[in-house]
Amino acid sequence: MDNSADLAVAQPGTYVRSPLSAVDPTVYELLVRQEQQERTTLKLIASENFASSAVLEATGSIFTNKYAEGYPGARYYAGTEIVDELENLAIERLKKLFGSEHANVQPYSGSPANQAVYRALLKPCDKVMGLPIPQGGHLTHGWAINFSGTDYRRVPYGLHEKTQEIDYDSLRDTAKRERPRLIWVGGTAYPRMFDYAAMAEIALELNAYLVADIAHISGLIAAGAHPNPVPHCDVVSSTSHKSIRGPRGGFILSRNEDRYQTVYHPKAKYNLARRIDRAVFPHLQGGPHMNVIAALAVALQEAANPSFRSYGQQTVKNAQALAQALLERGYDLVTGGTDNHMLILDLRNRPLSGKAYAELLAKAGIITNFNMVPGDPRDPAVTSGIRLGTPAVTSMGMREAQMMQVAGFIDAVLRRPDDEDLHASVRRDVADLCAAFEVPGIADR
């Protein structure tokens, strides 16, 4: 038979571990180009990071091959003894890391996790309170074009006009008037800490579920660099990547018992934890991605290491150093700074859009994303802001001194947007800076 590498089959019943370069040189070439890009650019997208080699190995492992619909001890496929042990391991590590009574590690990502939360807690057309996207919230917190804004009645809460931080007094007034059944606390572009205790007090007054979305800050919470919402919230949802440096997936934490079950679910057969599980499977998903769950278990083991605490603390220090350096250069920041891993440049008083500036920065090797700012006069497709984040550059080992350099690079590009020669020079300087640091998870070639 033809035993060429691209077939990856030597004889019936055997499998050749052919390198990707031989099986699919086109995909291999794209992989190499992506590695080169990540070696030589500053990854400043707040939602991106570098997974370790161990996490990547688990993601691409033989667990990819195994179907395991159901939950440990109650599967719909045979031969799941090992993956049962694996999923239980991930669950126990997750519960221990965040101090939660219950954990589900099967959601395919953060938005599906949030959808499961809705299904477990609410009925269609119930009122949901969340921070709108232009003020730093997430699509799934009640935005009009998302399922959360079409299947449920959305009640937005906002920011204080002067501080641009959450106005808890106004939030309480709105909540008392509208009586939402669920209140989200969390965001995708909010650079300050959340007051979970204040939110829990408001929710308790109204018999409302309080749900924290910690997709961005889960790693900071695990590192003790941000307050833990678990003691205050009924449910906590998250992605498993971003600041916690795991695979692309999601998880849900919750209490076991529903304190409002007699109020909202008097005929429910199951407690809160079981309703969460049933919302994930079988209501929304089929077979879990066991390779992703394996990689999550690895990432949680890494996050429990004392070195991860140092990483989380340094991520915040780096963001604050970058913010201060940009403020000193005359830039405006949403809320005037940051308490976490991200900062939002407010460029509404500058000639170009956030999108245009983000594209110029990318050409100079500085990878960011354009982002809306509170009161943004521009269309969401172009915006007036740029979001910057420090998880990835901190994973490379950069510290405050390098953030001073990064601020200088950003300033040079934004001040002279038409100077292509300058941008090319910055691109070379960025590559030189990156060359002095190791990129986690990328093997030498």
Active site residues: 67, 69, 213, 239, 242, 248
Could you tell me if 192 and 340 are in contact, meaning their C-beta atoms sit under 8 angstroms apart? yes
- Which residues are documented as binding site for (6S)-5,6,7,8-tetrahydrofolate? 137-139
- Which residues are documented as binding site? 137-139
